Structure 1
Amino acid sequence: MQRIDRNTRGVYSIAPTPFHKDGGLDVAGIDRLADFYDAAGVDGLTVLGQMGEAPKLSSAESLLVARRFVERAGRPVVVGVTAPGFETMRELAHEVMDHGAAGVMVAPPTSLRTDDQIVGYYTQVAERLGPDVPLVVQDYPLTFSVVMSVPVLVRIASTIDSVVMLKHEDWPGLEKITTLREAEAAGRAPRLSILCGNGGLFLDFEVERGADGAMTGYCFPELLVDVVASVAAGRRDEAHDRFDAHLPLIRYEQQPGVGLAVRKHVMVRRGILASATMRQPGRALSAAERAEVDYLLERLREREPAADLVA
Structure 2
Amino acid sequence: MIRIVVALTAFAVFVCALIVFRPFGGDDTQVADRLGTPVEVTPEVANVAEDIATEATRAATPDITSVVDAALAATTPLITDPDTGLIDAPRRVDVARPNTDDTHLNDMTNNVLAELGFAGVEPVTTNSQVLRESTSEILAGIEAATGQRSVLQERDTLEAIVVAALRSGTSDEDIDTMVNEAAAAGTVAVPEILVTSDGRVDTHVLLDNIIVQAQIAAGGPAPAIPDVSPDEVDGMEVRIVQQATDTVQARFYTVQRGDSLGAISIKFFGSIEHFEAIFEANRGLLSSPDRIRVGQRLVIPQLDEA
Q: TM-score range by the shorter chain?
A: under 0.3
Which structure is higher in RCO with an 8 Å CA cutoff and minimum separation 6? 1
Of the two, which has the highest radius of gyration? 2
TM-score by length of 1: 0.25
TM-score by length of 2: 0.25
